[in-house]
């Protein structure tokens, strides 16, 4: 059984790096992570996890602006309001957190911290172009 199969949102998590791990293959899985992932979908009104090649270029331009040690286990989702939700879960605990991100409950493992940024398309374009 894979991690995504333990969630209530199998269709969304089935295409994630995290979701592909098999239970028993990693001692890092914890039921709190499964619960956090279930809550995450509900809290942020997540509707889909787009394929990487379907994401607009400005998303990748924004990600490239972020500190490399901050971007770990990157996941990008789209909400019911067509906003982008950028999730990262770095293992490094001594990092600068970009101003648009806030810390949330652990989503990847108990040994990493998770951060999220929710943005409209236009805000991301403003950020990439240096206006925000």
pLDDT in tens, 30-83: 899 999 999 999 999 999 998 888 888 889 999 999 999 999 999 999 999 999
Please give the residue that has the higher pLDDT: either 99 or 93.
Answer: 99
Q: How far, in Å, CA of 64 to CA of 129, rounded?
A: 13
Q: How confident is residue 92, by pLDDT bands cut at 50, 70 and 90?
A: confident
Q: How confident is residue 132, by pLDDT bands cut at 50, 70 and 90?
A: low
> For all residues of the chain together, what is the average pLDDT?
90
Distances (CA, A) of 124 to 57, 75, 84, 85, 127: 11, 16, 9, 11, 5
Residue 27 has pLDDT above 70, yes or no: no
The pLDDT of 90-95, averaged and rounded, is: 87
Provide the number of structural domains found in the chain: 1
Q: Of all helices (H) and strands (E), which one includes residue 26?
A: none
Structure tokens at 88: 């990262």
Most confident among 19-23, 25-29, 43-47 (mean pLDDT)? 43-47
Residue 67's CB: how many other CB atoms inside 10 A?
A: 12
The pLDDT of 3-30, averaged and rounded, is: 87
- To the question of pTM greater than 0.85 for the whole model, the response is yes
What was the pLDDT predicted at 28?
58
Distances (CA, A) of 102 to 10, 51, 106, 132: 25, 24, 12, 17
Q: How confident is residue 25, by pLDDT bands cut at 50, 70 and 90?
A: low
Closest to 87 in 3D by CA, of 22, 19, 78: 78
Domain hosting residue 58, numbered range: 3-128
């Amino acid at each position: 059984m894979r991690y995504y199969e333990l969630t209530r949102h199998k269709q969304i998590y089935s295409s994630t790096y995290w979701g592909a791990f098999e239970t028993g293959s990693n001692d890092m899985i914890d039921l709190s992570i499964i619960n956090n992932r279930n809550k995450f979908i509900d809290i942020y009104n997540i509707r889909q996890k787009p394929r990487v090649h379907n994401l607009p270029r400005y998303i990748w331009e924004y990600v490239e602006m972020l500190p490399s040690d901050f971007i770990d286990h990157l996941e990008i989702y789209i909400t019911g309001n067509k906003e982008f939700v950028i999730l990262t879960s770095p293992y490094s605990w001594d990092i600068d957190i970009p101003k648009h991100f806030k810390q949330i409950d652990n989503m990847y493992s108990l040994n990493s911290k998770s951060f999220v940024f929710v943005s409209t398309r236009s805000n991301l374009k403003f950020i990439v172009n240096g206006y925000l």
